[in-house]
Chains A and B, each alone.
Chain A
Amino acid sequence: MSIKKDDNWEPKILAFCCNWCTYTGADLAGLNRMKYPENVRTIRVPCSSRVNPQFILRAFQKGADGVLVCGCHPGDCHYATGNYFTRRRFMLMQRLLEYNGIDPKRFQAKWISGSEAAKFRDTVTEVSAQIKALGPNTKFVAPHYDNALQAKEGGAE
């Protein structure tokens, strides 16, 4: 959870990247010296189907302002069918989170292949801009008894 909301507040965004496609794409973005905002931290997973929706809940609970799950395009999965499961899980997860009041922009999923370095940069830039506009995430986070913080923020959404 970032400290306070002002202009140079930086959102904390967590990105689960599949090792064979998106992580490779991110490395390629580095190789080509592409530039994107600093507020994204990637966690490498063997396949996007490794990402358990409970990790997303944990991320929001611990104060992440945005979560991104990236993997290979359906059909290109290194493990053949992994991303078909990812697709179903996170379409349902996104709707459930939205239903519980979390702005859908805070949780996104994207297919980014090993060669789409530019798409990785654009996705990261776009998501961090969207989250910056939304401000810090106050839902699902921080024990509710910290009323002082709660009152001041007053549900910034």
Chain B
Amino acid sequence: MARIGVFICHCGTNIAATVDVEKVAEAAKSMPGVAYARDYKYMCSEPGQAMIKEAIEEHNLDRIVIGSCSPRMHETTFRKMLKGTKINPYLLEIANLREQCAWVHTDKAKATEKAINLVQMAVAKVANNKPLTTSTIPITKRALVIGGGIAGIQAALDIADAGYDVTIVEKEPTIGGHMVMLDKTFPTMDCSACISTPKMVDAGAHPNITLKTSCEVEKVDGYIGNFEVTIKEKAKYVNHDLCTGCGLCQTKCPTKVTSEFNQGMSKRSAIYIPFAQAVPSKPVIDPQACLKLTKDKCGICEKICPIGAINYQDEVKYTTEQYGAIVVATGYELVDWKQMYPEYGGGKYEDVITGLQFERLVNASGPTEGHIVRPSDGKEPKDVVIVKCVGSRDPKKGKTYCSRACCMYSAKHAHQILDKIPNSRVYIFYMDVRTPGKGYEEFYDNTRKDGAQYIRGRVSKIYKEGSKLIVKGEDSLIGRPVTVEADMVILATAMEAAPGVEEVVSKLGISMDKDRWVQEAHPKLRPVETQSAGIFLCGTCQGPKDIPDTVSQAGAAASKVIGILNHDEMETSPMISHVDQTKCAGCGYCVECCPYKAISLVEVPGRDGNRKVTKTVAQVNEGLCQGCGCCTATCRTGCIDLRGFTNDQILKEVDALCL
């Protein structure tokens, strides 16, 4: 028979005021299995805890019930206290006599009767508690970062600086992502390449970081601390170990195709480095463009390569590696505005460009060496119109959300144009101007002082008349339609999730929201974590944001990863499900309902009568199970049970209530 100790707390007057604590302690003495019961002014205080410990020794108690405040307050305190005694910390139940009894009732007699009832239920439950010990799972001290933009680079650098191995998987031939394409960054106007290329070089040179460019995640197995990831390396046709990056092959390559890096505004060769400061600064061959690979002609690069690093027979390679934690940093892409807005010309007019294309134009390493010119005739534009919220905040034609960064980079573009082109005029059509950061509002004020003309209204139509682009819109402040004859139009297009993010998310077993942004565990309290333990996210893959937020999220994700990798093992909560495999019929319905995919069907040796057979039964992965208990109610046989809240405990609690 259990020897239960019941300790009723006065909590000063919080409980004692409306609950007759002595009467409750007295009543507890006669409950089944109770060996000792008393009340005390402050159970959670040092003397209170000491008094409990003494009672445990003195009365040889083996289970404890404490009638006090909510278990959500001091359950951990009392469990820590029990760690110092011979009683397992999980042989403890707390009756909520304060928040759900004393504070919410006035009639002392009824409140006391309810308090006794609550203690009865706690006693009935604790009688059925089983001693639980936390188990541990080993941690592989390596991290994987998916995505090589500024988010992935920053996270990788922080983790590597903490002394852990990091692999960056990037599907483009170089890391750097979108940030390295930009010219200046708001609000400080420092040059984007000057602050991101050093980080790229650090990442490339860091002893703890391995760069896997032109690679994609193929398969992910395992769970926190023990991820097994297969990485697919696309054929590069250039042996990067031999290649010194001399660039001779690039100069001699005859084929010219549009450069994705320069947003289609310049050409690149088939064997190419995306841009000068690419890391790794070694070329790859574009299989669709290369004459050798498509028509088996040319082959100049192989001939002139001093080291013979070219290998046309290169194939896709798969490598499988172990990781303890994963950071998703897949970034964003701009929406295809040509499909969404045919009324802006649908791409017919060369001088209607996106913000990213303008960044390449104004960039010194861009196709026009930083001269802002019209892609159509190369002339310097005098009148430029910037249209904001193209695709954002437009549920009918585009996305419902605001893309957060365009207000600021549009102001930056205006500032750059007014700065670089003497007596130019810039008109910015806007719905609202959002400047949610430090120094942002001042930056916006300066742009207006520079002479940028902000017109509050949307643009309805853009068309070409002669060499001019006619931009028809409205100025809702003066309530009249407005027409601007412009030389160039820059569209601040919406951000959307990077293409291909669906595969990454489904392989990781995490989820996405309706706009394909990766779903964070909790938007306010756990913004860089996902539902699956050990998988984190940072940057624009979670939603539109600017570089300062991206970098701070990268740091946060890195600290979460470091928090895991710091330990050789990870303690798992003992309050998780457990399968009684003798009774399990292997129907698999628990597997389907588990939100964490923590249950799987396994083959185990078993006996059927006298024959040895292999049985299919369910098994819970201790690392993944978070203890929600959904499986216990789905299982008809009741053979999967949740430790700490077993069927037995709850049934006895129900019985105790109704005596």
Does A touch B (CB under 8 Å) in the complex? yes
* Cβ-defined partner of B655 (8 Å) among A42, A50, A62, A81: A62
B71 cross-chain contacts in A, Cβ below 8 A:
44
Measured between C-beta atoms, what is the minimum distance from A157 to chain B in Å? 19
3 smallest A-B Cβ distances: which pairs? A30-B99, A50-B629, A79-B628
Is B402 close to A, CB under 8 A?
no
A33 cross-chain contacts in B, Cβ below 8 A:
103-104
B100 cross-chain contacts in A, Cβ below 8 A:
26-27, 30, 42
Task: Check if B72 sits within 8 Å of A27, measured CB to CB.
Answer: yes
Is B650 close to A, CB under 8 A?
yes
Task: Check if A19 sits within 8 Å of B651, measured CB to CB.
Answer: no
Could you give 27 example pairs across A and B, Cβ below 8 Å? A14-B654, A24-B72, A26-B99, A27-B70, A30-B103, A35-B104, A38-B113, A42-B100, A43-B121, A44-B71, A46-B642, A47-B628, A49-B628, A49-B630, A50-B633, A50-B645, A52-B633, A55-B650, A55-B654, A62-B654, A62-B658, A64-B658, A79-B626, A79-B628, A80-B595, A81-B630, A85-B633
CA distance A43 to B71 in the complex (A): 12
B613 cross-chain contacts in A, Cβ below 8 A:
none
CA distance A24 to B71 in the complex (A): 10
Is B465 close to A, CB under 8 A?
no
B114 cross-chain contacts in A, Cβ below 8 A:
38-39, 41
CA distance A29 to B102 in the complex (A): 12
* A30-B111 in contact given A49-B633, A80-B595 (Cβ < 8 Å): no
CA distance A109 to B654 in the complex (A): 17
Task: Check if B633 sits within 8 Å of A89, measured CB to CB.
Answer: yes
Given A35-B105, A47-B628, A52-B638, 5 more pairs with CB closer than 8 A: A38-B107, A41-B118, A45-B629, A46-B645, A50-B628
* Cβ-defined partner of B630 (8 Å) among A1, A29, A41, A79: A79
Is B262 close to A, CB under 8 A?
no
Task: Check if A59 sits within 8 Å of B113, measured CB to CB.
Answer: no
CA distance A89 to B632 in the complex (A): 13
Is B538 close to A, CB under 8 A?
no
B642 cross-chain contacts in A, Cβ below 8 A:
46, 50
B626 cross-chain contacts in A, Cβ below 8 A:
79
CA distance A38 to B655 in the complex (A): 19
Is B634 close to A, CB under 8 A?
yes
Task: Check if A64 sits within 8 Å of B657, measured CB to CB.
Answer: yes
CA distance A24 to B73 in the complex (A): 11
* Cβ-defined partner of A38 (8 Å) among B99, B111, B628, B657: B111
Is B197 close to A, CB under 8 A?
no
* A43-B104 in contact given A38-B114, A49-B628, A51-B633 (Cβ < 8 Å): no
A27 cross-chain contacts in B, Cβ below 8 A:
70, 72, 96, 99-100
B110 cross-chain contacts in A, Cβ below 8 A:
10, 38
- Of B105, B511, B629, most A-chain CB atoms within 10 Å: B629
Measured between C-beta atoms, what is the minimum distance from A4 to chain B in Å? 16
A105-137 contacts to B, CB under 8 A, are 121
Interface string of A50-81 (1 = CB under 8 A from B): 11110100110011100000000000001111
CA distance A24 to B214 in the complex (A): 49
Is B575 close to A, CB under 8 A?
yes
Query: Which chain B residue lies CB-closest to A16?
Result: B650
* A85-B657 in contact given A35-B105, A50-B642 (Cβ < 8 Å): no
Is B236 close to A, CB under 8 A?
no
Is B653 close to A, CB under 8 A?
yes
Q: Interface size class for chain A?
A: 35 or more
A121 cross-chain contacts in B, Cβ below 8 A:
104
Interface string of B577-615 (1 = CB under 8 A from A): 000000000000000010110000000000000000000
Chain B residues within 8 Å of A, Cβ to Cβ: 70-72, 96, 98-100, 103-107, 110-111, 113-114, 117-118, 121, 511, 531, 575, 593, 595-596, 626-630, 632-634, 638, 642, 645, 647, 650-651, 653-655, 657-658
Interface string of A97-110 (1 = CB under 8 A from B): 00000000000000
A58 cross-chain contacts in B, Cβ below 8 A:
651, 654-655
CA distance A50 to B111 in the complex (A): 28
Is A91 close to B, CB under 8 A?
no
CA distance A58 to B114 in the complex (A): 20
Measured between C-beta atoms, what is the minimum distance from A94 to chain B in Å? 16
Measured between C-beta atoms, what is the minimum distance from A9 to chain B in Å? 12
CA distance A19 to B632 in the complex (A): 17
CA distance A1 to B626 in the complex (A): 36
B650 cross-chain contacts in A, Cβ below 8 A:
43, 45, 55
Task: Check if A55 sits within 8 Å of B651, measured CB to CB.
Answer: yes
Task: Check if B595 sits within 8 Å of A81, measured CB to CB.
Answer: yes
A12 cross-chain contacts in B, Cβ below 8 A:
657-658
* A50-B630 in contact given A38-B107, A38-B111, A82-B595 (Cβ < 8 Å): yes
A45 cross-chain contacts in B, Cβ below 8 A:
629, 645, 650
Interface string of A1-35 (1 = CB under 8 A from B): 10000000010101000010001101101110111
* Cβ-defined partner of B632 (8 Å) among A23, A41, A42, A52: A52
A34 cross-chain contacts in B, Cβ below 8 A:
104
CA distance A108 to B268 in the complex (A): 68
CA distance A49 to B629 in the complex (A): 7
CA distance A14 to B653 in the complex (A): 10
Measured between C-beta atoms, what is the minimum distance from B646 to chain A in Å? 10
CA distance A23 to B531 in the complex (A): 22
CA distance A52 to B645 in the complex (A): 12
Task: Check if B645 sits within 8 Å of A41, measured CB to CB.
Answer: no
A49 cross-chain contacts in B, Cβ below 8 A:
593, 628-630, 633
CA distance A157 to B654 in the complex (A): 24
B630 cross-chain contacts in A, Cβ below 8 A:
47, 49-50, 79, 81-82, 85
Task: Check if A59 sits within 8 Å of B658, measured CB to CB.
Answer: yes
Measured between C-beta atoms, what is the minimum distance from A78 to chain B in Å? 8
Task: Check if B117 sits within 8 Å of A41, measured CB to CB.
Answer: yes
A85 cross-chain contacts in B, Cβ below 8 A:
593, 630, 633-634
CA distance A57 to B493 in the complex (A): 58
A62 cross-chain contacts in B, Cβ below 8 A:
654-655, 657-658
* A47-B531 in contact given A12-B657, A41-B121, A64-B657 (Cβ < 8 Å): no
- Of B100, B511, B645, B651, most A-chain CB atoms within 10 Å: B100
Query: Which chain A residue lies CB-closest to B575?
Result: A46
CA distance A19 to B418 in the complex (A): 58
B638 cross-chain contacts in A, Cβ below 8 A:
52
Query: Which chain A residue lies CB-closest to B118?
Result: A41
Measured between C-beta atoms, what is the minimum distance from A129 to chain B in Å? 16
CA distance A80 to B595 in the complex (A): 7
Task: Check if A80 sits within 8 Å of B651, measured CB to CB.
Answer: no
CA distance A19 to B96 in the complex (A): 13
